[in-house]
Amino acid sequence: MYDLVILNGKVFSGSDGIIKKANIGITNDKISIITELPITGKKIIDASNKYVSPGFIDIHGHSDLIPLLGKNYNSKLYQGVTTEINGNCGIGPVPSSKETVELTRKYMNDNLSVTDRNFDFENVNSLSKLKNLMKDHPFNINQGYLIGGGAIRIAVMGFDDREASSEEIKKMQLLLEEELKSGAYGISFGLIYPPGSFTYTKEIIEMLKIIKKYDKVAVFHMRNEGEKILESVKEMLLVAKESGAKVEISHFKIMYKPLWNTSDKLIEMLDEARKNGIQISFDQYPYIASATSLFVLIPSNLFAVGLEAMIEGLDINDKSLLGQINDKIEKRGGADRVVVASVIEKFKEAEGKNLLEISKMWNISPEQCVVKLIKESTGKISAIYFSMSENDVENIMKQKYGIIASDGYSYPVETPEGFGFPHPRNFGTFPKFLEIVREQNILSLEDALKKITLLPAKVFNIENRGIIKEGAFADITIFDFEKVKDNSTFTNPFEKPSGIEYVIVNGKITVVNGIYNQVTNGKII
């Protein structure tokens, strides 16, 4: 008798790419049998008329320290996600050095909307120590880590806006190598965020040689996703070719209205590179809006003095600064398409409003609003940018080598107080993707499921997950394809999706009939 059996489901194993009716037997945390014959177990789930998939894998997460905040941070779990990879966009808590630990602390706290702001950066300064700490804080899904390139650069160079010396590159390579040996899945770069924006292409290639050596992956928030996206993609192809490493472009999109509907050109570039043996792919979230801090509207060269000094030096009447901010706002679609998502208590009246609305409310220009918000909240502010075209989002989504990922956090769905208006992708990325597949028929269900299970596991070398086979970990999501739906909106984000019936994490039922049962069976992987 098995510990848990799933009967009569339409099983997508991932390995053979087909869906077939089968029964699954689970013992402890592993799948013991997949059969068409009758089986019985201590617990039984009748999955008649439901699809049984490997648990969804979110390879672009930002929940680095969220397990320390408690098990009720469950918005990923409700989507059917069983594994999350954190440390994206160059941002991460480790490694850190004694000399620059305060810079690392501020880097994390200013760039992540949800994090443990009391984290012990001084003593938990490596991935091995972080993983040991996390083992004492069981979470509802599995957690894995990339190492942030920004964190590594801060540990060696602080926020210096200059080319790294040969000696400094060697130090960064050694730090990266140590963290890869501790189980990191690769490195991430946030080339739009200081200090990532200070990183020269030559430096990136040298770091990626270490990634190649250990057969890991390098993940990039590119330098520009707007008017210079062509040059940014070319840089990705160059570093992948010169290093031989596997490269993943994060949240692939076009955020510049004059270039809307030109995604075919970018896809052709990637297709040609892949034909020539370059290992390059991308991930994407299924929304026309992005979300990040207001810092992206500040000229990157100003960050060279450090975050605190930069914020202190902002002048609401500096015409040159205001002109540069205005240019960035316009390139993202205009002031009416930049919505403040979360702020400190002092500015609660601005939460959920766009910059044009805030400008009228405060009787100052939109660019002055940006300066005021950042300066008086010490940077603790995030925004949503409606700057993409539906045609490009859909065209990118059709590509079978692209992965669907949230670029989000695990939020506590039942207790939204104090979190503002976060992007719906934190609550509905995977159901929304399946909903689009059903309603618009842009992919077969089999190909769609590969993009959120087998493919991310393959690109990131996540062993025995993202697949239903005997001996694999029993991470399983059971859903009703006809009912699956993203219920989160930009004005009411804290809503659970529909249609995700059961979620099983390492053999334990964790979501029952769409309700989290408080089980914490996630592992540090």
Assign 294 to helix, strand or coil: helix
Written as six digits, the tokens of 379 are: 């940077």
Residue 108 lies in a domain: yes
Distance CA 447, CA 450 (A): 5
Give me the residues paired with residue 473 across strands.
Answer: 30
Q: Clarify whether residues 108 and 143 are in a common domain.
A: yes
Whole-angstrom CA distances from 220 to 90, 247, 412, 462 are: 8, 8, 28, 19
Q: Clarify whether residues 138 and 282 are in a common domain.
A: yes
Q: Which of 222, 406, 384 is nearest to 289 (CA)?
A: 384
Q: What is the mean pLDDT of residues 68-78?
A: 98
Average pLDDT, the chain: 96
Residue 446 lies in a domain: no
Length of the chain (residues):
525
Least confident interval from 314-323, 374-383, 405-414: 374-383
Written as six digits, the tokens of 496 are: 């659970």
Q: Clarify whether residues 301 and 377 are in a common domain.
A: yes
Domain interval for residue 368: 292-385
Q: What is the DSSP string of 39-107?
A: --EEEEEE-TTSEEEEPEEESSB--TTGGGG-TT--TTGGGTEEEEEE--TT--S-S--TTTHHHHHHH
Q: Clarify whether residues 146 and 205 are in a common domain.
A: yes
Q: What is the mean pLDDT of residues 303-327?
A: 93
Q: Clarify whether residues 89 and 15 are in a common domain.
A: no
Q: Clarify whether residues 178 and 205 are in a common domain.
A: yes
Residue 447 lies in a domain: no
Q: Clarify whether residues 103 and 176 are in a common domain.
A: yes
Whole-angstrom CA distances from 250 to 66, 189, 275, 451 are: 21, 9, 21, 14
Residue 15 lies in a domain: yes
Q: Report the number of distinct structural domains present in the chain.
A: 3
pTM confidence score = 0.94
Residue 522 lies in a domain: no
pLDDT in tens, 210-249: 999 999 999 999 999 999 999 999 999 999 999 999 999 9
Q: What is the mean pLDDT of residues 172-178?
A: 99
Amino acid type, 347: F
Contact (Cβ atoms closer than 8 angstroms) between residue 412 and residue 494: no
pLDDT in tens, 323-351: 999 999 998 889 999 999 988 889 999 99
Q: Clarify whether residues 283 and 354 are in a common domain.
A: no
State whether the Cα torsion 505-507-508-509 is positive or negative.
Answer: positive
Contact (Cβ atoms closer than 8 angstroms) between residue 152 and residue 172: yes
Q: Which of 10, 41, 47 is nearest to 25 (CA)?
A: 41
Residue 159 lies in a domain: yes
Strand 500-505, strand 402-404: pairing: unpaired
- The reported pLDDT for the residue numbered 344 is 86
Q: Clarify whether residues 359 and 474 are in a common domain.
A: no
Q: Which residue, of 366, 385, 404, is where some domain finishes?
A: 385
Sequence-distant (6+) residues with CB within 8 A of 38 are 23
Q: Clarify whether residues 146 and 240 are in a common domain.
A: yes
Residue 427 lies in a domain: yes
Neighbours of 47 (CB within 10 A): 25
Residue 26 lies in a domain: yes
Q: What is the mean pLDDT of residues 418-437?
A: 97
User: Alpha helices of 422-514 — where are they, by DSSP H?
Assistant: 425-440, 445-450, 454-459
Q: Clarify whether residues 411 and 265 are in a common domain.
A: yes
Q: Clarify whether residues 194 and 253 are in a common domain.
A: yes
